[in-house]
C-alpha cells in the first residue's frame, strides 16, 4: 500500500475482516470481503449491509445566514428545509456544470453537509471562497460515517434505539445508539431502505462491531456499493455527472427545487442559473443521461462507445456492470437526445463487438425507501 493513502477510523477492522483493499479517492478502502461482490450485493438487497463511507467529507455551516449562504451555491431550496430533514443538492459552476453532489441536513443550530471524498478539498475551498464572513464553515475531522442498508436495516438499528423505526426517508436526528451520540439520517445510496450514521471516530470500531454481531449484517465493499447504486439509477460523481454535464443533461431535473426554477419565488441566483433555467425552458440539450439494459450476459463497462443501428457514434457509457439483482448487464451513459427515448436500441462496442442494449427507464430495480 502506498504510504500516501489515507485511512478511515475502521481501516484496521477491514484488514482484520479479510477485506481486499484498493486506493479510492485518496483512501485505502475495502473493495470486497470474503463473501465477494455478488454475494455482498445480494445480501444487502435481502438483509442488511454495513458500509464504511468515512472517506466522505463531513462539514457544518454555522450562523443564522448559513441556509441563505448555501442556497446561493446550489439550485435547491435550503432556506425552507425543515429542521430534522435532509435534502440532495448539487454544486453548480458558472457554465451550469456540476462540481459535486452532496447531502444537506438542517439540524436546527447548524447545517450538516456531506460531500464526496474526491471533491472534498475542492468543495471546502469553494465554500470558503463564497460564503459570507458571518457564516462559519467547520470541517469535521473526528467522526466516521457508516451506512446500514437493506430491508432488515431498520429492525437491526432499532435494537440500539427504537426511535429509528419512527423515522422516514430523509429524516435526520441526533440520537443515542448503544450509548454513542450519533447523527442519523434515514437515507443511503443503494436504493434500499437504510440509514447513514455519523459516529465519533474513537467509537466507530466499537459501533461497527456491535452491528456486525447481528446475523443480518455483513460488511459490504466498494464493488457491491457500485452495483447496488447503479441498479437503482443513482449517479456516481466524476463518472455519470461532472463539470461538463448540466443537471438537465444529467437527467437530474427532480433535484432542482421548484422555488429556484424560473417561476419560483427565489428563481435563479445560483451559479450557472441562466444556462440551466434556459435548458429547462427550451429542452435544448444535445445529449441526455439514460439507463441502458444489455441483452447478452457480457457486462458493458465505463468508457464503452455507443452506436446507433446505422453505426453512427452517439454516446458513451459512464457506469456499467452486471446487475446481480436484475440478472442482466446494467449501465448508464450519455446519448444524443434523438436516441434518448425509452425503448431505443443502441449498440455498445466491447472488445471489437457491438453488443445490443436498450434505453430503459431507471431505476432498473425498484427503490425501496421507507416513506411511512
Q: Please state, for a pLDDT cut of 90, what percent of the chain lies above it.
A: 98
**226 and 155 in one domain?**
yes
**295 and 223 in one domain?**
no
What does the DSSP 8-state code read for residue 82?
Answer: P
Q: Is the pLDDT of residue 178 over 80?
A: yes
For the segment 300-312, the average pLDDT, to the nearest whole number, is 98
Q: pLDDT value at position 1? A: 46
Q: Per the annotation, where are the binding residues?
A: 196
**328 and 199 in one domain?**
no
**147 and 44 in one domain?**
yes
Last residue of a domain, one of 183, 207, 230: 230
Q: Is residue 95 part of a domain?
A: no
Q: What is the mean pLDDT of the chain?
A: 97
Last residue of a domain, one of 186, 208, 230: 230
Assigned C-alpha cell, 92:
453548480
Place of cell 443511503: 188
Q: Is residue 338 part of a domain?
A: yes
**CA–CA dist 102, 123 (Å, integer):** 10
**299 and 226 in one domain?**
no
Q: Is residue 218 part of a domain?
A: yes
Q: Is residue 200 part of a domain?
A: yes
For the segment 181-207, the average pLDDT, to the nearest whole number, is 98
User: How many domains would you assign to the chain?
Assistant: 2
Q: Is the pLDDT of residue 295 over 50?
A: yes
**294 and 222 in one domain?**
no
- Return the H-helix or E-strand segment holding 43: helix 37-46
**218 and 154 in one domain?**
yes
83: Cβ contacts below 8 Å, ≥ 6 apart = 106, 107, 108
Q: Is the pLDDT of residue 117 over 80?
A: yes
**CA–CA dist 207, 250 (Å, integer):** 37
**305 and 225 in one domain?**
no
**294 and 192 in one domain?**
no
Q: pLDDT value at position 236? A: 97
Q: Is residue 104 part of a domain?
A: no
Nearest to 117 by CA among 26, 32, 56, 42: 56
Q: What is the CA radius of gyration of the chain?
A: 21
For residue 324, the domain's CATH number is: 2.40.30.110
pLDDT in tens, 5-50: 999 999 999 999 999 999 999 999 999 999 999 999 999 999 999 9
Q: pLDDT value at position 215? A: 98
**218 and 149 in one domain?**
yes
Q: Per the annotation, where are the binding residues for substrate?
A: 196
Q: Is residue 207 part of a domain?
A: yes
What does the DSSP 8-state code read for residue 221?
Answer: -
Last residue of a domain, one of 188, 212, 230: 230
Q: Is the pLDDT of residue 291 over 80?
A: yes
For residue 146, the domain's CATH number is: 3.30.1360.120
**196 and 341 in one domain?**
no
Q: Is residue 241 part of a domain?
A: no
**CA–CA dist 99, 229 (Å, integer):** 20
For the segment 187-199, the average pLDDT, to the nearest whole number, is 98
Q: Is the pLDDT of residue 58 over 50?
A: yes
For the segment 109-135, the average pLDDT, to the nearest whole number, is 98
Is 197 in a helix, a strand, or coil? strand
What DSSP string describes 276-337?
HHHHHHH---SEEEEEEEESSSS---TT-EEE-TTS-EEEEEEEEEEETTTTEEEEEEEEEG
Q: Is residue 24 part of a domain?
A: yes
Query: Could you tell me which residues are beta bridge partners of residue 350?
Result: 353
Give pTM, 2 decimals: 0.97
**CA–CA dist 68, 226 (Å, integer):** 34
CB atoms < 10 A from the CB of 371, how many?
Answer: 9
**155 and 302 in one domain?**
no
Q: Is the pLDDT of residue 3 over 90?
A: no
Q: pLDDT value at position 330? A: 98
Q: Is the pLDDT of residue 2 over 90?
A: no
Domain span at residue 298 reads 286-364
Q: Is the pLDDT of residue 222 over 80?
A: yes
pLDDT in tens, 165-177: 999 999 999 999 9
Amino acid at each position: 500500500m502506498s504510504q500516501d493513502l489515507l485511512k478511515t477510523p475502521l481501516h484496521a477492522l477491514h484488514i482484520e475482516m479479510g477485506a481486499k483493499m484498493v486506493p479510492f479517492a485518496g483512501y485505502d478502502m475495502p473493495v470486497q470481503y470474503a463473501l465477494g461482490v455478488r454475494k455482498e450485493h445480494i445480501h444487502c438487497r435481502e438483509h442488511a449491509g454495513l458500509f464504511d463511507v468515512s472517506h466522505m467529507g463531513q462539514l457544518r455551516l454555522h450562523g443564522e445566514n448559513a441556509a441563505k449562504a448555501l442556497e446561493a451555491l446550489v439550485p435547491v431550496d435550503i432556506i425552507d428545509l425543515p429542521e430534522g430533514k435532509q435534502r440532495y443538492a448539487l454544486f453548480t459552476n458558472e457554465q451550469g456544470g456540476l462540481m459535486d453532489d452532496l447531502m444537506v441536513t438542517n439540524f436546527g443550530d447548524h447545517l450538516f453537509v456531506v460531500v464526496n471524498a474526491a471533491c472534498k478539498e475542492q468543495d471546502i475551498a469553494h465554500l470558503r471562497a463564497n460564503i459570507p464572513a458571518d457564516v462559519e464553515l467547520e470541517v469535521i475531522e473526528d467522526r466516521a460515517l457508516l451506512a446500514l442498508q437493506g430491508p432488515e436495516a431498520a429492525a437491526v438499528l432499532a435494537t440500539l434505539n427504537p426511535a429509528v423505526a419512527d423515522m422516514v426517508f430523509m429524516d435526520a436526528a441526533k440520537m443515542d445508539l448503544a450509548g454513542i451520540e450519533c447523527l442519523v439520517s434515514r437515507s443511503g445510496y443503494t436504493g434500499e431502505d437504510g440509514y447513514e450514521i455519523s459516529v465519533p471516530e474513537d467509537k466507530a470500531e466499537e459501533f461497527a462491531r456491535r452491528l456486525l454481531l447481528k446475523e443480518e449484517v455483513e460488511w459490504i465493499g466498494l464493488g457491491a456499493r457500485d452495483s447496488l447504486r447503479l441498479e437503482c439509477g443513482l449517479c456516481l460523481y466524476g463518472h455519470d455527472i461532472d463539470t461538463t454535464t448540466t443537471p438537465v443533461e444529467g437527467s437530474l431535473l427532480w433535484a432542482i427545487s421548484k422555488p429556484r426554477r424560473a417561476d419560483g419565488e427565489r428563481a435563479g441566483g445560483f451559479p450557472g442559473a441562466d444556462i440551466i433555467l434556459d435548458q429547462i425552458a427550451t429542452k435544448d440539450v444535445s445529449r441526455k443521461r439514460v439507463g441502458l439494459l444489455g441483452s447478452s450476459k457480457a457486462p458493458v463497462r465505463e468508457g464503452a462507445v455507443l452506436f446507433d443501428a446505422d453505426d453512427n457514434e452517439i454516446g458513451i457509457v459512464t457506469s456499467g456492470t452486471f446487475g446481480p439483482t436484475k440478472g442482466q448487464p446494467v449501465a448508464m451513459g450519455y446519448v444524443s437526445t434523438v436516441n434518448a427515448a425509452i425503448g431505443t436500441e443502441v449498440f455498445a462496442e466491447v472488445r471489437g463487438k457491438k453488443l445490443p442494449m436498450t434505453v430503459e427507464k431507471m431505476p432498473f430495480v425498484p427503490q425501496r425507501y421507507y416513506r411511512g
